[in-house]
């Protein structure tokens, strides 16, 4: 495993943001070339890579997806392989995910599969939610449609090396909402001659905070105000523009639709009442990651065969995963590998992927291949 750990640390040292994963792609392609996939496809959805290992007999296509991009966060670390890029770091463990999938490439080279195909897919732009949907259409164009798709994600606060499964939603749906309001500015001495969005913004924020009282939902939802701005800081001007940014979350896709409808109808009604123009836009949209029950059971059985601890989530993770686009189109499962009960959280500046769990992830993926393809 030394060569896989070395790869992980090189990737960690050289992080790249969503859409800029060029050097990451080059490093991965160079590594994979040593382990002779039958096909290698570059430039998928930007910087993505698909390495294909084929058996001699016909059979299903299994796809194992890992993510490539880093985060715009400054790392705090004294590790010799700490990020060399100021303000950018692999603080979600995508470097480790790539390393584990690359470890599977080594195993497939050493012991080829007998039937079917295994596609190792390195996906760009996971963090901004754009990569999966774009990648799927390109994979289909390349005749790499999976019969089954799997993804792996490390998860702190769970026992080191444990296998974490949803039942059967793994992570929440989420989306960012921007509400822009436009009236007419005026001199601060004559505010009555303008149309200020101040009271409308206040009312929107108050209404959003009461969403659970006003609407009935199937399960967990969350509406978080993340930013608000009214005009510019000028004492002589009554503002004519304002903006409210919110993040919506739900464990159920139907609840997300209902929550979105509430945000739109409430905002438009308030804007109209205050004679304001309104513009609503969305960003970083992730569906809920609803996993296939049968293949969740296969992952669980493989984990038990390897005598790994299995943890079943009482409720989905509140964070989102764009692998949800795969789960909505193909029988798919995303599963977690515990990063340690005391390990720093994802997306924090002291996080670092634990190399100790790389062999566990590789063994589990190899076991899944054997279970389905042998």
Neighbours of 314 (CB within 10 A): 6
Question: In the prediction, which pLDDT does 153 show?
Answer: 97
SS3 215: coil
**Chain centre distance of CA 82:** 23
Measuring CA to CA, how many Å separate 331 from each of 174, 291, 292, 325, 326?
A: 21, 7, 5, 11, 8
Residues 6+ apart with CB under 8 A from 229: 242, 243
CATH tag, 2-171+288-373? 3.40.630.10
Question: In DSSP terms, which residues pair with 64 in a beta bridge?
Answer: 120, 150
All residues at 6 or more sequence positions from 373 whose CB lies less than 8 Å from its CB, including other chains: 55, 59, 60, 62, 113, 114, 115, 116, 118
| 3 state SS of 249 | strand
What is the reported pLDDT for 12? 98
Q: What angle do CA 49, 54, 55 make, to 5 degrees?
A: 160
Q: Which of 308, 141, 274 is nearest to 204 (CA)?
A: 274
Residues 6 or more apart in contact with residue 24 via CB below 8 angstroms: 11, 14, 15, 16, 47, 68, 98
Q: What is the DSSP track for 195-212?
A: B--HHHHHHHHHHHHTHH
Structure confidence at residue 17 (pLDDT): 98
* Segments making up each domain of the chain, as ranges: 2-171+288-373, 173-286
CA 365 to chain centre: 20
Question: Which pair of structure tokens corresponds to residue 29?
Answer: 């392609």
Q: Which tokens go with 72?
A: 């715009």
Query: What is residue 374's predicted lDDT score, i.e. its pLDDT?
Result: 86
Is the bond into 168 cis (omega within 30 degrees of 0)? yes
CA distance 335 to 353: 16
pTM for the predicted model, two decimal places: 0.92
Are the beta carbons of 66 and 121 closer than 8 angstroms? Answer: yes
Select from 287, 373, 295, 286 the least CA-distant residue to 334: 295
* Mean pLDDT, the chain, integer: 97
**Contact of 280 with 264, CB cutoff 8 Å:** yes
Architecture of domain 173-286: 2-Layer Sandwich (3.30)
Same CATH topology for 2-171+288-373 and 173-286: the answer is: no
Which residues of the chain fall below pLDDT 50? Answer: none
d(CA 78, CA 71): 18
Residue 30 is predicted with a pLDDT of: 97
């Amino acid at each position: 495993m030394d060569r896989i750990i070395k790869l992980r640390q090189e990737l960690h040292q050289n992080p790249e943001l969503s859409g800029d994963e060029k050097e990451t792609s080059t490093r991965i392609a160079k590594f994979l070339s040593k382990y002779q996939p039958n096909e290698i496809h570059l430039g998928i959805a930007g910087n993505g890579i698909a390495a294909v290992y084929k058996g001699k007999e016909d059979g299903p296509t299994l796809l194992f997806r890992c993510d490539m991009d880093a985060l715009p966060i400054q790392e705090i670390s004294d590790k010799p392989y700490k990020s060399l890029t100021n303000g950018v770091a692999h603080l979600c463990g995508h470097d480790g995910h790539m390393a584990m999938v690359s470890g599977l490439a080594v195993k497939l080279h050493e012991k080829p599969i007998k039937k079917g195909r295994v596609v190792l897919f390195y996906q760009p732009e996971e963090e901004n939610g754009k990569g999966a949907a774009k990648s799927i259409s390109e994979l289909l164009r390349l005749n790499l449609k999976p019969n089954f798709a799997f993804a792996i994600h490390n998860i702190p606060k769970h026992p080191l090396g444990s296998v974490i499964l949803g039942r059967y939603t793994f992570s929440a749906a989420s989306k960012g909402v921007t509400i822009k309001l436009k009236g007419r500015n005026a001199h601060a001495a004559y505010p009555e001659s303008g149309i200020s969005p101040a009271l409308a913004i206040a009312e929107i924020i108050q209404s959003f905070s009461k969403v659970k009282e006003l609407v009935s939902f199937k399960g967990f939802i969350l509406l978080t105000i993340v930013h608000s701005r009214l005009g510019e800081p000028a004492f002589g001007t009554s503002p004519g523009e304002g903006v409210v940014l919110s993040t919506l979350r739900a464990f159920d896709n139907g609840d997300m639709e209902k929550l979105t409808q509430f945000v739109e109808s409430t905002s438009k009604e308030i804007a109209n009442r205050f004679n304001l123009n309104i513009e609503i836009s969305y960003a970083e949209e992730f569906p809920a990651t609803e996993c296939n029950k049968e293949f969740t059971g296969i992952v669980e059985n493989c984990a038990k065969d390897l005598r790994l601890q299995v943890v079943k989530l009482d409720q989905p993770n509140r964070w989102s995963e764009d692998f949800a686009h795969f789960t909505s189109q193909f029988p798919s499962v995303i599963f977690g590998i515990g990063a340690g009960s005391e390990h720093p959280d994802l997306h924090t500046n002291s996080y670092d992927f634990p190399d100790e769990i790389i062999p566990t992830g590789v063994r589990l993926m190899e076991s899944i291949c054997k279970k389905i393809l042998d």
